[in-house]
Amino acid sequence: MAQEFWRWKEYNWRDPNESWKNGAFLTGGVDVGSVSTQAVVMANGTLCAFANMRTGSDSPDSSRKAMNWALEGTGLTMEQIRYIVGTGYGRVNVSFAHRTITEIACHARGANFMYGPTVKTVLDMGGQDCKVIRCDEKGKVSAFLMNDKCAAGTGRGMEVFADLLSVPLEQIGDLSFQVEKEPPPVSSTCVVFAKTEAVGLLRAGWPKNDVLAAYCSAMSHRVYALLERLGVENDFAITGGIAKNPGVVKRLEGELKLKALTPRFDPQLAGAVGAALFARTLAQKEGMA
């Protein structure tokens, strides 16, 4: 089979120190996105296990798969998780969740946990949409702006470009800096038009890396406009898969003239972590913990 350049690595993780299993109050968060699904298990508010995988075409199934994968090797079953919150684009499909909460609230809460309480502005660059969220020191949302109408400036667009240029998705960021001179950004916002434009650039003799650079800077430019609309207050953090693409992050930092914080965990987990934290609060409210 031909190499699938867009395919990023799915993985799971669990805390090797297994003492967390003993008598802790376990909560779970599942973030079913349009492209990726994350499941997180927390014990008394600390991260213990998680899984990060592709959503695929069957989101009820992928939410269950992700949770089971996160629990793999822990000896625990889903029934032992006392409270589970579903979030993300496909949150209604998390059949085993006790409650659903929007990804906006979950990302703010998750970013507050992962980047610390100084975070005031969160940019979530997801698989198929991007959102700007302003929050307070407790991770409560004070303002948000979402653009869910099109996939420009998102992970899906990066996947399309990885495929078009036969560059593994994870390498796009680094390669986009290996250019002689920073090229002008791709002018089309739409992924489909941008792809057409990129094919034209390749035909005109542009090296691959220049096309990548042009696309990364177009993406950074596009989310910058979104950020400007809501206003950016320091500290600033980026969540979602694109946060792992330095080609976009560094260019955006340049435009904003400020640095994004470094996360303690995979930035793709923010939504699921937020959901698991909400689960804990809700369980406490309902007198379970």
Residues at the site binding another protein, with contacts judged by CB under 8 A: 101-102, 104-105, 134, 140-150, 189-190, 225-226, 229-230, 278
Residue 147 beta carbon to another protein: minimum distance, rounded to whole angstroms: 5
Q: Smaller CB distance to another protein: residue 147 or 220? A: 147
Q: Smaller CB distance to another protein: residue 101 or 162? A: 101
Q: How far is CA 32 from CA 85, 180, 242, in A?
A: 11, 40, 17
How many whole angstroms separate alpha carbon 36 and alpha carbon 31? 8
Q: Smaller CB distance to another protein: residue 90 or 173? A: 90
Q: Smaller CB distance to another protein: residue 123 or 162? A: 123
Q: Smaller CB distance to another protein: residue 230 or 232? A: 230
Q: Smaller CB distance to another protein: residue 134 or 195? A: 134
Residue 9 beta carbon to another protein: minimum distance, rounded to whole angstroms: 31
Q: How far is CA 157 from CA 67, 126, 129, 170, 200, in A?
A: 27, 10, 10, 14, 17
Residue 141 beta carbon to another protein: minimum distance, rounded to whole angstroms: 5
Q: Smaller CB distance to another protein: residue 73 or 231? A: 231
Residue 91 beta carbon to another protein: minimum distance, rounded to whole angstroms: 11
Residue 150 beta carbon to another protein: minimum distance, rounded to whole angstroms: 7
In angstroms, the first-to-last Cα distance of the chain is 50
Q: What angle do CA 97, 240, 175 make, to 5 degrees?
A: 150
Residue 252 beta carbon to another protein: minimum distance, rounded to whole angstroms: 17
Q: Identify the CA nearest to 212 among candidates 274, 261, 160.
A: 160
Residue 166 beta carbon to another protein: minimum distance, rounded to whole angstroms: 29
Q: Which residues face 100 on adjacent strands?
A: 86
